[in-house]
Structure 1
Amino acid sequence: MDDKKLVKTLFMVMTHRNEQVGLSLWNDNPQGYNQYCQWQTIIANPRAMGLGKRYIESDLNRSFNIPNPRTYEEKRA
């Protein structure tokens, strides 16, 4: 496998607890590879998932590129 041609992809699932569309991807294929692609799947917001909440302190989708991250989701982003 030539690493220079291999596409590496990270899937982030469970950004919000009530959006479970990616959970089956994480359960069935947490990581893997073939001749073209290597992938890994992570739980984006494990605390919210564990508590059954949409988010803990702030919406993860709106928590990227925060200059001084303070909330749990801002730090995760």
Structure 2
Amino acid sequence: MNINCTKAALQRIAKTLNVPEDTFLLGGGHHQNNTFFDVSLEQLEIINLFQSIQDPLLRRSCLDFVREIAAASAFL
């Protein structure tokens, strides 16, 4: 992926999340002790890892697991 494609992708992600592009850059996104920045990195990691799973059944199993955890945490 070249620099222009990467920059364009970053712009689309930032626009979709309604955050400045520098949120995703080191030193950017100063939101309450960088909490937003940390969460964004975790979300990007999850997306990248999920995309690397080729087997549709494993992907579905992963989604089911995350849904279970999310539902359980809603009651905490």
How high is the TM-score relative to the length of structure 2? 0.27
Q: Which structure has greater helix proportion?
A: 2
Q: Tell me: higher relative CO, structure 1 or 2? Use CA pairs within 8 A at least 6 residues apart.
A: 1
How high is the TM-score relative to the length of structure 1? 0.27
Q: Which structure has greater strand proportion?
A: 1
